[in-house]
Amino acid sequence: MIEDREITLTELLKEVRRIEVHSKRLVTGVMAGGYSSVFRGAGIEFDEVREYVEGDDPRSVDWNVTARIGRPYIKKYKDERDLTVLFLLDLSASTLGGFGHWSVRQTAARICACLGLSAVRNNDRVGLIAFSDHVEKNVPALKGIGHALRIVRDCLALPRTSDGTDLAPALELASRAARMHSVVFVMSDFLTTGWERALSLCARRHDVIAVRLISPELESVASGLVRVRDLESSRVHVVDWGDRRVREAYRERVESWQRRTEATLRRVGVDRMDVRVPREPDKEAVARPILKFFRMREVRGAKR
């Protein structure tokens, strides 16, 4: 089980470097092109006119140039990127425990690395709002790989001043701070309430994606007597997972939470990306859900 402890500077730098190397491989490999096709800029701007070749869209023909030269020419455009990507990161105590190979927070750092490096590769800005039951830190959105790696470092090492969770203050800040339409990734286990209205208001202004981080213990439980501690309340309980009624009651509560969360996200028009924290080492644990999300967005866009 991962413990809440201070991370040394040497450990931090090594971890950031490992995440950077692996994320760069994903961004330039299996994820290449997915980000830019899903998250487009505010519009398009004229780039150049070139001669028509077989396979070009006839709707792009520039008839004035074609008539003047006598051969078909088309207009080429390029995206006006100018996108801002904001990561809202849950720092509450519950993100540091669990039976996974990584903690929820370490998993979130890897998601930030993949999406953040994809963003800067497309010349977009990235920013971070870290929160517990209040906003702990607001990192303004800037461009550049150095800034993206700073955000990864903060995801791993930012201290918190409270163990509790409240998504509303961070969502409200994101609604106010980003003046133009932005892409907002809310990364949390969502094991709390009271965020529904703030999320709905934020989604009216921005493209909000709920990244639900799911620890292994939410999907399968241990066997026998287990001593557990609630990291946010510090309460300690002894649970008999050998009792069928206990296991069934736990499973029903988890399923009820999942249905309730999913129904709320659908109601407010927010897409969901479920990321399961791996119990064992898994190099594709982060890439799989991101690619699945990209495909969902592309298919949905093609149907419109």
Q: Find out whether 83 and 183 touch, Cβ atoms under 8 Å.
A: yes
3-state SS string over 124-177?
Answer: CEEEEEEECCCEEEEEEEECCHHHHHHHHHHHHHCCCCCCCCCCHHHHHHHHHH
Over the range 25-41, which residues count as b (16 or more CB within 10 Å of their CB) and which as e? ebbeeebeebbbebbeb
Please state, in angstroms and rounded to a whole number, the distance separating the CA atoms of residues 157 and 9: 9
What confidence score (pLDDT) does residue 260 get? 94
Tell me the per-residue pLDDT of 230-243, one tens digit each, with 9 for 90 and over: 777 778 888 888 88
What confidence score (pLDDT) does residue 20 get? 84
What confidence score (pLDDT) does residue 3 get? 42
Domain 9-38+82-303: give its CATH code. 3.40.50.410
82 has a pLDDT exceeding 90: no
> Mean of the per-residue pLDDT values for the chain?
86
Tell me the per-residue pLDDT of 119-160, one tens digit each, with 9 for 90 and over: 998 889 999 999 999 999 999 999 999 999 999 999 999 999
Please state, in angstroms and rounded to a whole number, the distance separating the CA atoms of residues 255 and 125: 37
Q: Find out whether 199 and 208 touch, Cβ atoms under 8 Å.
A: yes
Tokens of 34: 């997915």
For the chain, give the number of residues. 304
Please state, in angstroms and rounded to a whole number, the distance separating the CA atoms of residues 152 and 116: 9
Whether pTM > 0.85 for this model: the answer is no
Tell me the per-residue pLDDT of 240-299, one tens digit each, with 9 for 90 and over: 888 889 889 989 999 999 999 999 999 999 999 999 999 998 888 999 999 999 999 888
Residues carrying CATH 3.40.50.410, the chain: 9-38+82-303
Please state, in angstroms and rounded to a whole number, the distance separating the CA atoms of residues 251 and 257: 10
